[in-house]
Structure 1
């Protein structure tokens, strides 16, 4: 059962902030607001786990986790240390390995995303923030500087009033869409992903590396989950996926086992064929305006990144914290706080686009293949803010 509405601090009703979405960005924002003494409530459509597959957290995220005091949440989720990246990318495709022994921030992490998300929300609740699970926002209305939010919960229809909204609803960007803010997309990339079980039915000894392999029609990603299963994803464009019928488990499996680096990983650890393939959005996209009158977007709602960049979770955690800081400043009368946040988001995304472009430019083995030709094209000269 969800906590009663009375648990929201009603002594400062004009300062209540509603966070829509309980993923990394939403959890980070809620924790930061709680630490600042600002009454907050989190509205999460699912039980907090979502349908995300396993992912990796780069070593550069470790200082942020410590600043956000999320070390315990990470460990409670069963995260597995990641000590290296192995890739077949660029040049003649010979495998190369980059270990994290000399990384100033230590090793990375293999995450079970559903477990990690659930652990984050548990941390939010322990900080005194009500979390409304299985609660869907039905409508939003703003009047006299306040938001009225109609919510469908397991306990029935409820209405919340808030001074500010943080849109942490992921790529759906629920609040931004309500405000009719356009979203720019920079490619059409999707992922055809599966979680593979060991053939024996028991957990294998996890390989503590992340594996990436470029191929003519896209690229493969593989990483072990803490429980010994293996996450494998094929990144490509929708038309190319359809042409090769890689949404079918058997076609996907045949293509996977024909690959070199990832195919060898699968066979050497004895993983079996997938039961189903999950199709996930993986394109780069950006809200043209990540904040407005009484609302601000964070995480994928504000800007979504190519998984190749390893920006996703770390950027979501940082974005949630920055959004919360901007909300606090705005509530305290700073009329420039949201404008600075928007500028910071645009500037960060512009840097990301150039970095992403350089990653794909490094792979020149199939310059005429549609997937690579599209990514080798020059960046839009108008930039992310155009």
Structure 2
């Protein structure tokens, strides 16, 4: 098994595949000295890293906790609100992930450059250039995690570039604080790092920054900061890095998976930086990708695995594009091409109402609810399982609140009174889970209020799964 790319997706996938018993080689081009890039890790990401055994990559020496974010996103005044993130330097964080993978038995080649790859009847023949010379690697399966700049993806939204640099001598506030601001033709993000420096990134149209010399790029970067209310104080500090440009465009893989190769991380779906979900998305992509690869190589239902990953990629990309457009729309009615391009997306599906305070006394199954045969992740493999479809779900869903929906719904075939349903589920799940599951089904209109006697069967009908979209459940 060969994994190309040692970012979060590649390192996590390599360790997962080694844990599954595969001899795994991780090929990473960059050496131990990475450029400094600040990244905010929310609590959900930290929890996922802990579950996967990568929490030691976030050390007190290299991480800084931020509990406040100052935001000026519309045309009004700036507002402060609490948050809970840990700021890390990706230049230290990524190599730490690779070290954890190596400790698990992954053969790490770093720095190493992939010079050539040829598909063979047995898998792949790779030619890798290392400090010791050229090495040939034979692999049954290829996991491509080279990031959003690699070939094989298409733009999911507007082309975006991030102008990045670090400052010293700039203090946002008395306590560590993130800042985000919408400008006339850009948006800005900044946060402190554990070494006392301040990372500030300016996101602009790629067309506005193409062909700029280093001096012109720095001048543009400084001018945007001076015009921003939350970042104008940077001019009092010292710029300690050259202003470098990196691709920050949303992208999606043209072909996310084949019987011998899978693309993961940013090379599969590259999120908009505004989401602050880059590392978490990479980790979940690594989990999905390793389960798909394991299913294919272990003789499982490879067609289900490929179908699952293709549909999951499409669903994630579509949902992210719509969600990002909604975030950009909140910036107000700005007329510049930068904002118009980023708001241009399909409208978001109607939202789900907040949870009810009281449950109805009687419910019945919606006639729009159906069961389809759908691929889902179970443990380390992909299997076909019954999944529930409904217009309010958006995609087929096999599990909710940790419970298989098909079994839960089948168990209430003749029950319409809510107390009877909760009693039926009593032998299947804790009472608090039963209540949460019932509330979830009602909020999504799968179960609807029933004021009269039952009029039909209470179990969803089966239909062909051809029109469904993918869903997945983490381990």
Q: Sort the TM-score into its range (normalised by shorter chain).
A: 0.7 to 0.9
Pairs within 5 Å for 1:1-386: 17-51=1-35, 53-75=37-59, 78-90=62-74, 92-100=75-83, 107-173=84-150, 177=151, 181=152, 183-198=154-169, 207-241=175-209, 247-264=216-233, 266=234, 271-334=237-300, 335=302, 336-366=304-334, 368-379=335-346
Consecutive unaligned residues in structure 1, runs of 5 or more: 1-16, 101-106
Q: For 1:245-302, what per-residue CA distance to the aligned partner results, in whole angstroms no more than 9, with x for missing partners? A: 88432442233133111224x36xx521355210010111101221113110110111
Q: For 1:151-208, what per-residue CA distance to the aligned partner results, in whole angstroms no more than 9, with x for missing partners? A: 11110011011111100111133xxx4xxx5524421111111111238xxx999842
Consecutive unaligned residues in structure 2, runs of 5 or more: 349-468, 470-475
Classify the secondary structure of the residue corresponding to 2:148: helix
Classify the secondary structure of the residue corresponding to 2:231: helix
Shift in Å at residue 244 of structure 1? 9.8
CA distance in 1, matches of 2:227, 2:125: 54
CA distance in 2, matches of 1:204, 1:93: 19
Classify the secondary structure of the residue corresponding to 2:37: coil
Select between 242-251 and 346-355 the one with higher mean Cα deviation: 242-251
CA distance in 2, matches of 1:355, 1:95: 23
CA distance in 1, matches of 2:135, 2:72: 52
TM normalised by structure 1 equals 0.83
Classify the secondary structure of the residue corresponding to 1:170: coil
Contact 2:176 2:192 in 1 (8 A): yes
Q: Which has the higher contact order (CA 8 A, sep 6+)?
A: 1
Contact 1:166 1:297 in 2 (8 A): yes
CA distance in 1, matches of 2:266, 2:144: 9
* Cα distance change of structure 1 residues 77 and 142 upon mapping to structure 2, 3 Å threshold: farther
CA distance in 2, matches of 1:243, 1:48: 29
Contact 2:153 2:267 in 1 (8 A): no
Aligned residues: 346
CA distance in 2, matches of 1:156, 1:134: 11
CA distance in 2, matches of 1:305, 1:143: 33
Shift in Å at residue 83 of structure 1? 1.4
Shift in Å at residue 243 of structure 1? 10
* Cα distance change of structure 1 residues 319 and 193 upon mapping to structure 2, 3 Å threshold: same
CA distance in 1, matches of 2:211, 2:128: 41
Q: For 1:130-149, what per-residue CA distance to the aligned partner results, in whole angstroms no more than 9, with x for missing partners? A: 11001111111122132111
Classify the secondary structure of the residue corresponding to 1:46: coil
TM normalised by structure 2 equals 0.68
- RMSD over aligned CA atoms reads 2.5
Select between 47-56 and 135-144 the one with higher mean Cα deviation: 47-56
Contact 1:217 1:240 in 2 (8 A): no
Classify the secondary structure of the residue corresponding to 2:239: coil
Contact 1:224 1:231 in 2 (8 A): yes
Larger Rg: 2
Contact 1:171 1:301 in 2 (8 A): yes
CA distance in 1, matches of 2:121, 2:241: 52
CA distance in 1, matches of 2:347, 2:268: 19
Classify the secondary structure of the residue corresponding to 1:217: coil
